[in-house]
């Protein structure tokens, strides 16, 4: 690989969710979907967590979650670079990515207002972060963070496989990760099969796996 791409999106989870935030993520997904056949990974930089009361219109949250779901289902690999606290919109995006590289001081903060001196009550961020946390790390592993607002430190997140690497400079560690990601095809298909495994029966999954194998074999045959 000749050059390391800059993050295509930088998101600060301490900032309120706005229509512009939804549009920015939607535009990123548009570009990735339009790049037919491209295997270049999509890179996002994430930081920040809400420290005060969350007041977001539910229709906007719905649009945001649709954009995050699009990110989660992209055919190209996705990489998150995490610095410091990560909550709110940043956590939503993090949990929808394939590879997560974080600084040693990074923390996952699933509740707004958690671990702060602010007088506002701790509140659930109105996204699907808790759903993805429980599915990816398990209910028991995330119980204290969800019920008591305890942030999940970097080492703990790494042990739970919520982070893949802990480095002082996530951007500097990007090159070897991208080399691995661009060396294979079918990331989107494999990711979807993995996500479906926890929510579908064996019989339903079998049909999807066979269809995915057929698509992969056809693609390999066309490329040879």
> Are 48 and 120 part of one and the same domain?
yes
> Are 177 and 197 part of one and the same domain?
no
**What is the predicted pLDDT for the residue at 2?**
47
**pLDDT tier, 99 (very low <50, low <70, confident <90, very high otherwise):** very high
- 172 burial (CB, 10 Å; 0-12 / 13-18 / 19+) is exposed
> Are 87 and 108 part of one and the same domain?
yes
> Are 196 and 103 part of one and the same domain?
no
**What is the predicted pLDDT for the residue at 166?**
96
In a domain, residue 1? The reply is: no
Which residues form the domain of 91?
A: 9-181
CATH of the domain at 18: 3.90.226.10
> Are 105 and 75 part of one and the same domain?
yes
> Are 158 and 139 part of one and the same domain?
yes
To 5 degrees, how large is the angle CA 150–CA 79–CA 108? Answer: 5
Mean pLDDT of 148-173: 93
**What is the predicted pLDDT for the residue at 218?**
67
The pair of structure tokens assigned to 201 is 């029966």
**pLDDT tier, 1 (very low <50, low <70, confident <90, very high otherwise):** very low
Domain count, the chain: 2
Mean pLDDT of 141-154: 89
> Are 129 and 212 part of one and the same domain?
no
pLDDT digits (tens, 9 = 90+) for 2-54: 456 688 999 999 998 999 999 999 999 999 888 755 667 899 999 999 877 67
Where do runs of H (alpha helix) occur along the chain?
A: 19-34, 58-72, 88-94, 129-137, 139-148, 154-159, 174-181, 187-197, 202-223
Instruction: Name the more confident of 121 and 128.
Output: 128
How many of the other CB atoms lie within 10 Å of CB of 1? 12
Mean pLDDT of all residues in the chain? 82
In a domain, residue 79? The reply is: yes
Q: CA–CA separation, 98 vs 134, rounded Å? A: 16
User: Could you give the 3-state DSSP secondary structure of residue 170?
Assistant: coil
> Are 109 and 199 part of one and the same domain?
no
> Are 130 and 202 part of one and the same domain?
no
Residues facing residue 86 across a β-bridge: 48, 108
């Amino acid at each position: 690989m000749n050059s390391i791409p800059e993050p295509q999106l930088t998101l600060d989870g301490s900032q309120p969710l706005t229509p512009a935030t939804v549009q920015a993520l939607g535009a990123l997904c548009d570009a990735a979907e339009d790049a037919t056949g491209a295997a270049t990974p999509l890179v996002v930089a994430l930081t920040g967590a809400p420290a005060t009361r969350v007041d977001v219109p539910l229709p906007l949250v719905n649009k945001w979650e649709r954009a995050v779901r699009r990110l989660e289902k992209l055919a190209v690999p996705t990489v998150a670079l995490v610095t410091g606290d990560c909550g709110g919109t940043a956590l939503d995006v993090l949990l929808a990515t394939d590879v997560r590289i974080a600084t040693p001081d990074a923390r996952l903060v699933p509740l707004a207002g958690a671990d702060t001196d602010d007088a506002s009550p701790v509140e659930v961020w109105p996204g699907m972060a808790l759903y993805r946390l429980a599915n990816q790390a398990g209910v028991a592993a995330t119980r204290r963070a969800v019920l008591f607002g305890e942030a999940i430190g970097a080492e703990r997140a790494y042990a739970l496989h919520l982070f893949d690497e802990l480095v002082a400079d996530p951007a500097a560690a990007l090159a070897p990760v991208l080399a691995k990601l661009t060396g294979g095809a079918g990331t989107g298909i494999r990711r979807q099969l993995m996500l479906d495994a926890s929510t579908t029966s064996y019989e339903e999954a079998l049909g999807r796996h066979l269809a995915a194998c057929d698509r992969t074999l056809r693609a390999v045959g066309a490329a040879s």
